[in-house]
């Protein structure tokens, strides 16, 4: 599992999807699933948002911690979400 000090400084939709799964923030999600979620009003990245996309070649990049915080807070987003907690 990836530790917080070994996280990349930025992710793309393609690299962010497997990172979310690896960290257990969602059960399953694809890069296309993330692109779909990026249309939500509460998505933190965009030209009119607090956090802007970066650019690396043809890929849009996002600050990793901001990206992960979006999935750590609030209701589960994307894919099948977090599994329910067992009592």
Q: What is the pLDDT of residue 87?
A: 58
Strands (E), 1-58: 10-11, 54-56
Residue 39 covered by a domain: yes
* Residue 81: inside a domain: no
Rounded mean pLDDT, 72-85: 60
Show the CA angle centred on residue 75, arms to residues 39 and 33, nearest 5°.
35
Residue 25 lies in a domain: yes
Could you tell me if residue 47 is inside a domain? yes
Task: State which residues form the domain around 68.
Answer: 7-72
Q: With a threshold of 0.95, does the pTM exceed it?
A: no
Q: What is the mean pLDDT of residues 26-44?
A: 93
Is 82 a domain residue? no
- Is residue 77 in a domain? no
Number of domains in the chain: 1
Q: Return d(Cα 12, Cα 51) in angstroms, integer.
A: 14
The verdict on residue 22 lying in a domain is yes
Residue 75 has pLDDT above 60, yes or no: no
Residue 49 CA to chain centroid, in angstroms? 16
Q: Report yes or no on 1 lying in a domain.
A: no
Torsion of CA 59, 15, 73, 37, to 10 degrees: 50
């Amino acid at each position: 599992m990836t530790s917080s000090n070994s996280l990349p400084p930025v992710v793309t939709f393609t690299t962010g999807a497997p990172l979310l799964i690896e960290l257990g923030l969602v059960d399953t999600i694809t890069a296309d699933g993330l692109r779909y979620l990026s249309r939500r009003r509460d998505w933190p990245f965009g030209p009119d948002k607090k956090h802007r996309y970066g650019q690396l070649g043809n890929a849009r990049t996002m600050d990793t911690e901001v990206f992960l915080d979006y999935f750590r807070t609030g209701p589960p987003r994307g894919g099948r979400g977090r599994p329910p907690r067992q009592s």
